[in-house]
Amino acid sequence: MKNIFACLLVLMSIQSVQAQLKGIVYGSNNTVKQKIYGAKVRLLGAKTGAITCEKGTFEIILPKQLPDTMVFSAMGFNPDTIVVTKKDRFISLEVVLYSDQLLPEVVASHRKGTHTISRLKTLLVEEIGAGELRKAACCNLSESFETNASVDVNITDAVSGAKKIQMMGLDGVYTQIQFENIPYLRGLESSYGLNSLPGTWIQSMQITKGTGNVVNGYESMAGLVNIEVKKPQNMDKIFFNAYGNAMGRAEVNFDTGFKLNDKWSSAWLVHGSGHFVEMDYNNDNFRDMPNGTNVALINRYHYQGKKMEGQIGFNLYRDNEIGGQVNSMRGGPNKFYSVNLDSRHADVFAKTGFFLKKPGQSIGLVYNAKYQLTDASFGDRKFSGEEKRAYINAIYDGYFGNTSHKFKAGVSGVISDITQSMDSLNDDRLEIVPGAFAEYSYVGARLSSVIGARVDYHNLFGAQFSPRLHLKYILTEYTDLRFTAGKGWRVPNYMIDNVSLLANSKTWIAPDTIIPEVSWNIGGSVMQEFKCFKKKGSLTVDYYYTMFENQMLVDRDMNSSQIVFNNLNGLSFSNSLQVELAYNISKTIDIRLAYKYLDVRATYNGQLRTQVMLPKHRGFFNIGYKTRNKRWEFDLTTSIFGAARLPEVMLEDGTISSDNQSKVYPIINAQITHNYKKWEFYLGGENLGNYTQSNPIINAENPFASTFDATRVWAPVYGINGYIGVRFTIKKEEK
């Protein structure tokens, strides 16, 4: 009997132990955390409770009916609750109550657009994010501007497939392109380098019109495009993209970022693509796009220390394209016309930044060494070039008194050794350009300014002085006014800048002398944010005027059998006006509309003439829709190009062309994207209106005749192009 009674006592004690919960209650005012004496602990369902002792501890017996809600409260503190279940037996709780004098937490959220204009910056800078680039196929840099109205991309000729950019109506050589503030696509890689950088590698782009900051160099004459490539410290663990289109192009991209240790991280970016199917939709016996392969690789490393930050990497690519007449013409009675493009590139880049004792003060060094080989042949005409280039830029950042008055000062240097030949012409050169610069920035309540100047000494052409001024004034809470003025200059390379003009039979007449091109740019913008039907929008109007003191002109009209290069003798200018409206119709629909007017003229043979191949008017419309669950995305972009003056050419019958004005035409692109977990599936179409230029090649039947010309291209050579692709992403684990 005694044994039975003892067993019952043990079972009862075990049961009571199983139902006991212990804990401690603290109080905090966000700076000090202390144990609370006399805090109340209550179970709402069981209607039982406990009081904490001097040490803030408590013990409470849990009821049989669980779950139950436990409430903690104390004088001067906000109460808190937890749900207690059977799994919580034997655990020890630690509860923190916060002072009721603290303001409740407010969470502010904002959906940043994929295409924005930064209101904080003094210069008018368009920010294009990775989300904007994914709205189109974006296979390489030349296709990364399809949803942008500020930068135009044009086909250079009908046989090589090469493209070039234009800003403010000026050729791409006047736009400074940078790879993370390192000069990019300069020299021999300027003509075909747009194909070298895959769009999937790009993290963001910043587009600045007019002259840029003096820190970035002296070549920003029409604008600046800075490209930010994915960085090891913040890129995805794994990204994969596969793409194919109806023109016989296939592409694969793979990149990965990972940490090596607490201070070092690394990334590999790999690309391979090719055109494998011969296409001739317009039946002129010339390939609409060349066949060939492109491979590219970037390997980069990032170091983050307490007193310095640095990165180093290398970039390799090889682009080989074969175009011209279709294979069925090979072996025929006539000579076979072939186009061969071969670009090989290797460069090493590095950046180091040293943090000084005072916040806001630092020293930065940028280094780059490049080797480039470019060979091109168009029938019997050949270009061959080799370039070795080195670049360094040292920058000191500091401030006067407080951070409202900042300054930058530094020195830079460029060494470029180019050997090149075209037909019987040669233009070898060694350029050495040291420079020094200083820039002062002021940020006030309404007015902000950036005033800078640089002096560069060219070993062949002497000293050049480049002043720059940028102003921004906040007129109202929603209105910004900007003004910019400055000088830019560059040394022209008439061979590589115009290598696509080898796609005709005209003889080149080299310039008597080569002198630096010099331009002055002045302009401004108004940006107005507004609300309409409680939805946000913005209206931006900008105007820029560029005047050339000297310019290397390409005269394609003076002689029907020659292309003449000469220096400016007279006026040369560009007027650029753009109006852009962006509006969020709803949380899921964004639209952008733009209109651009260009008036670009220069003096040719004593006459002020409009530049050729340049539409005076352009319209732009983009709409994007994303479902609320973000599973589906729909994007549509329409561009309308106005008429442009065409160069005079000699036709097959020996007469001079009379149709010297192009037609107005639209380009419609669209894409649908489906997001499913780690996968993205996209389907799209380019040139959905199927507009093509009829007979883009003059005298295609006789490619070695004196009247053959494949450079008079102003519209697409091929029609609708459909594509399909898939992306796979494994995000980096957040700690």
Q: pLDDT digit string (tens) for 109-159?
A: 445 567 888 888 899 999 998 888 888 877 888 888 888 899 999 899 999
Assess whether pLDDT exceeds 70 at residue 722.
yes
pLDDT band at 521 (very low <50, low <70, confident <90, very high): very high
Assess whether pLDDT exceeds 60 at residue 107.
no
What average pLDDT score do residues 403-408 get?
91
pLDDT band at 649 (very low <50, low <70, confident <90, very high): confident
Assess whether pLDDT exceeds 90 at residue 108.
no
Cis (ω within 30 of 0) for the bond into 67?
A: yes
Assess whether pLDDT exceeds 50 at residue 10.
no
- Report residue 107 CA to chain centroid gap: 30
pLDDT band at 104 (very low <50, low <70, confident <90, very high): low
Classified as helix, coil or strand, 605 is: coil
pLDDT attached to residue 723: 96
pLDDT digits (tens, 9 = 90+) for 170-179: 999 999 999 9
Sign of the C-alpha dihedral computed for residues 147, 288, 702 and 337 taken in this order: positive
Could you give the maximum distance between any two Cα atoms of the chain, in Å?
129
CB-CB neighbours of 304 under 10 Å: 13
Percent of the chain with pLDDT over 90: 69
Say how far apart CA 615 and CA 286 lie, in whole Å: 26
pLDDT band at 631 (very low <50, low <70, confident <90, very high): very high
Which pair of structure tokens corresponds to residue 729? 């992403």
Classified as helix, coil or strand, 401 is: coil
Question: What are the φ/ψ torsions at residue 11 (nearest 5 degrees)?
Answer: -60, -40
pLDDT attached to residue 142: 84
pLDDT attached to residue 658: 66
CB-CB neighbours of 352 under 10 Å: 16
The residue ranking higher by pLDDT, 475 or 93, is: 475
Classified as helix, coil or strand, 80 is: strand
Percent of the chain with pLDDT over 70: 94
What average pLDDT score do residues 618-623 get?
97
Say how far apart CA 394 and CA 352 lie, in whole Å: 10
Q: Determine which of 354-358, 449-453, 481-485, 501-505 has the lowest per-residue pLDDT on average.
A: 354-358
DSSP code of 698?
A: B
Q: Determine which of 21-30, 126-135, 321-330, 337-346 has the lowest per-residue pLDDT on average.
A: 21-30
Say how far apart CA 340 and CA 325 lie, in whole Å: 11
Assess whether pLDDT exceeds 50 at residue 621.
yes
The residue ranking higher by pLDDT, 732 or 286, is: 286
Distances (CA, A) of 122 to 150, 260, 474, 480: 18, 38, 10, 10
Q: Where are the strands (E) in 325-424, listed by range? A: 338-355, 362-378, 381-399, 405-422
pLDDT attached to residue 4: 40
Q: Determine which of 13-17, 400-404, 443-447, 652-656 has the lowest per-residue pLDDT on average.
A: 13-17
Which pair of structure tokens corresponds to residue 647? 């160069």
What average pLDDT score do residues 469-478 get?
94
User: Nearest-5° angle of CA 152, CA 612, CA 650?
Assistant: 135
What average pLDDT score do residues 7-22 get?
48
Assess whether pLDDT exceeds 50 at residue 13.
no
Say how far apart CA 314 and CA 301 lie, in whole Å: 9
Amino acid letter for position 592: R
Assess whether pLDDT exceeds 50 at residue 12.
no
Assess whether pLDDT exceeds 70 at residue 7.
no
The residue ranking higher by pLDDT, 519 or 24, is: 519
What is the rounded average pLDDT for all residues in the chain? 90
Cβ(208)–Cβ(177) below 8 Å: no
Classified as helix, coil or strand, 334 is: coil
Using alpha carbons, select from 470, 472, 464 the residue that is nearest to residue 488: 464
- Report residue 628 CA to chain centroid gap: 26
Q: Where are the strands (E) in 232-282, listed by range? A: 238-245, 249-259, 264-275
Give all domains of the chain, ordered by start, each with its CATH number: 19-98 (2.60.40.4130), 228-730 (2.40.170.20)
Assess whether pLDDT exceeds 80 at residue 272.
yes
CB-CB neighbours of 64 under 10 Å: 8
pLDDT attached to residue 89: 66
pLDDT band at 260 (very low <50, low <70, confident <90, very high): very high
What average pLDDT score do residues 54-58 get?
82
pLDDT attached to residue 69: 87
pLDDT band at 626 (very low <50, low <70, confident <90, very high): very high
Assess whether pLDDT exceeds 70 at residue 432.
yes
Which alpha helices (DSSP H) does 163-258 contain, by range? none
pLDDT attached to residue 133: 86
Q: Determine which of 364-373, 539-548, 558-567, 700-709 has the lowest per-residue pLDDT on average.
A: 558-567
pLDDT digits (tens, 9 = 90+) for 652-680: 666 777 678 999 999 999 999 999 999 99
Assess whether pLDDT exceeds 50 at residue 18.
no
Amino acid letter for position 236: D
Assess whether pLDDT exceeds 70 at residue 14.
no
Beta bridge partners of 301: 266, 312
pLDDT digits (tens, 9 = 90+) for 306-323: 889 999 999 999 999 999
Place of tokens 């940078």: 178
pLDDT band at 101 (very low <50, low <70, confident <90, very high): low
Using alpha carbons, select from 185, 223, 180, 182 the residue that is nearest to residue 203: 180
Distances (CA, A) of 82 to 359, 425, 594: 44, 84, 55
Say how far apart CA 92 and CA 97 lie, in whole Å: 16
Which alpha helices (DSSP H) does 38-156 contain, by range? 130-133
Say how far apart CA 438 and CA 142 lie, in whole Å: 33
pLDDT digits (tens, 9 = 90+) for 528-573: 999 998 899 999 999 999 999 999 999 987 677 889 999 999 999 9
The residue ranking higher by pLDDT, 8 or 586, is: 586
